[in-house]
């Protein structure tokens, strides 16, 4: 790190990303992989992650919005890219220009895509979205035949795939997830009934990759798991992945606070005895959530210490008790130091949210350092 760099940063281990990809690839066997790299690759860096995945042979990638697909093409990514969200009509030409793969969640959208592709004298690549219980986007499973019939009549489309999405594959009780899979497979009988080849089938997100091997089908969509965060308990018994992101800061201030003197906004924490407090240059504007106030821990010199007082927009205070810390000492917000470790899941539990939100909330003002 150079002398002028900000004293709060994330390290992104691209070798760990590759190892995770290989571990998941081995687990799913004959199923193909479509890594999900939406939301700046879950905060890990869209272009950097995509480039590594393309280099190691990922056959295709998935994003949420067309803008992410455009950024990938501008960054030199050439593999097929599926946009998982539905296409807004005025953006359909962008898909066609950059050879992005559409998601068609309705008959109307399918017809719009076909019409635009016909006008452009090209063929649009499309995956049909079936709603099996998420009630978000997609044709209801019991109306899927209408979408499939319409697709057969379209002349400027290549129907590459059909997919759905689990609402609760990370639950301990998987009955609902299994019902969704059953509905999806039932809808797909349309193709057998009409003596047609079935397009590529995909449904498994990270949790289903681990918990529902019967849902691997032809293609899986690893997201959280790819970045080394366990989507469900007992993940490590099924596949071993390692965190790709670590988050660190530095001590920038030290003071002794006397007993009875409250810390921070609102005075939400007051020491019973004289103690040592250090301040870190990180706060909720960086994605270190306010909900971590008086709940989270950090690692300094390998030891756990408590966050005290309210997390501020730009600064956070830590109680180090009778121990010592000096300006410039490294502080682990997420990662390992000696035998101790703080995970993304820890931060999520301390702030009453999910790991996805923690990762995608680390803001752009936190520099990323990519390790090859």
Given the residues 21, 38, 129, 288, the one annotated as active site: 38
Let me know: does 13 contact 35? Beta carbons within 8 Å.
no
The pLDDT of residue 86: 84
Angle between helices 66-74 and 46-55 (to 10 degrees): 70
Nearest to 162 by CA among 197, 136, 194: 197
Q: State both tokens at 264.
A: 């921070």
Distance CA 145, CA 151 (A): 10
Whether 38 sits among the annotated catalytic residues: the reply is yes
Q: State both tokens at 313.
A: 């927009």
CB atoms near residue 304 (< 10 Å):
13
Q: Where are the domains of the chain?
A: 31-228, 245-371
Whether 284 sits among the annotated catalytic residues: the reply is no
Distance CA 100, CA 266 (A): 50
Interacting residues of 90 by C-beta distance below 8 A, sequence separation 6+ = none
Taking the model in full, what pTM does it have? Answer: 0.95
What is the CATH architecture of 245-371?
A: Beta Barrel (2.40)
Nearest to 223 by CA among 200, 241, 236: 241
- φ and ψ at residue 357, rounded to 5 degrees: -70, -35
CB atoms near residue 338 (< 10 Å):
10
CB atoms near residue 316 (< 10 Å):
29
Distance CA 154, CA 114 (A): 6
- At the topology level, CATH places domain 31-228 in TIM Barrel (3.20.20)
Q: Mean pLDDT for each 10-residue chunk of the chain (372 residues)?
A: 83 98 98 98 98 98 98 98 94 98 98 98 98 97 98 98 97 96 98 97 98 98 98 92 98 97 98 98 98 98 97 98 96 97 98 97 97 94
Q: Which letter does DSSP use for residue 364 in this model?
A: T
Burial of 262 from C-beta contacts in 10 A (0-12 / 13-18 / 19+) = middle
Q: State both tokens at 241.
A: 């992945």
End-to-end Cα distance, the chain = 15
Handedness of CA 91, 92, 93, 99 (dihedral sign): positive
Given the residues 189, 253, 255, 265, the one annotated as active site: 265
Let me know: does 243 contact 343? Beta carbons within 8 Å.
yes
Burial of 224 from C-beta contacts in 10 A (0-12 / 13-18 / 19+) = buried
Tell me the helices (H) and strands (E) count for the chain, helix number first.
12, 19
CA 66 to chain centre: 17
Q: State both tokens at 295.
A: 């709940």
């Amino acid at each position: 790190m150079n002398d002028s760099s900000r004293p709060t940063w994330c390290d992104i281990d691209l070798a760990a990303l590759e190892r995770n990809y290989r571990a998941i690839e081995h687990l799913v066997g004959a199923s193909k992989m479509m890594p999900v790299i939406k939301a700046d690759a879950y905060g890990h860096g869209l272009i950097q992650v995509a480039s590594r995945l393309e280099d190691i042979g990922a056959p295709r990638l998935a994003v949420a919005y067309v803008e992410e697909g455009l950024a990938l093409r501008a960054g030199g990514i050439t593999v097929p890219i599926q946009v998982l969200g539905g296409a807004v009509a005025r953006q359909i030409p962008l898909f066609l220009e950059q050879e992005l793969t559409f998601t068609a969640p309705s008959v109307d959208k399918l017809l719009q895509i076909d019409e635009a592709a016909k006008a452009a004298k090209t063929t649009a690549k499309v995956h049909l979205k079936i709603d099996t219980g998420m009630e978000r986007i997609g044709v209801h499973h019991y109306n899927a035949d209408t979408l499939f019939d319409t697709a057969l009549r379209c002349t400027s489309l290549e129907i590459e795939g059909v997919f759905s999405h689990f609402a609760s594959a990370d639950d301990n009780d998987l009955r609902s997830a299994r019902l969704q899979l059953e509905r999806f497979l039932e809808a797909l009988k349309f193709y057998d009934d009409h003596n047609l080849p079935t397009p590529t089938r995909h449904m498994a997100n990270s949790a289903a990759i681990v918990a529902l091997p019967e849902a691997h089908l032809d293609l899986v969509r690893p997201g959280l798991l790819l970045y080394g965060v366990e989507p469900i308990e007992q993940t490590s018994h099924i596949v071993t992945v390692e965190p790709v992101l670590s988050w660190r800061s530095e001590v920038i201030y030290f003071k002794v606070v006397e007993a009875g003197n409250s810390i921070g906004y609102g005075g939400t924490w007051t020491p019973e005895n004289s103690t040592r407090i250090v301040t870190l240059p990180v706060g909720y504007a960086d994605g270190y959530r306010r909900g971590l106030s008086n709940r989270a821990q950090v690692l300094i010199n390998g030891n756990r210490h408590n966050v005290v007082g309210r997390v501020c927009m730009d600064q956070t205070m830590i109680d180090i008790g009778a121990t010592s810390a000096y300006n410039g000492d490294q502080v682990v917000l997420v990662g390992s130091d000696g035998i101790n470790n703080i995970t993304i899941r820890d931060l999520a539990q301390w702030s009453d949210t999910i790991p996805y939100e923690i990762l995608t909330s680390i803001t752009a003002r936190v520099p990323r350092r990519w390790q090859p």
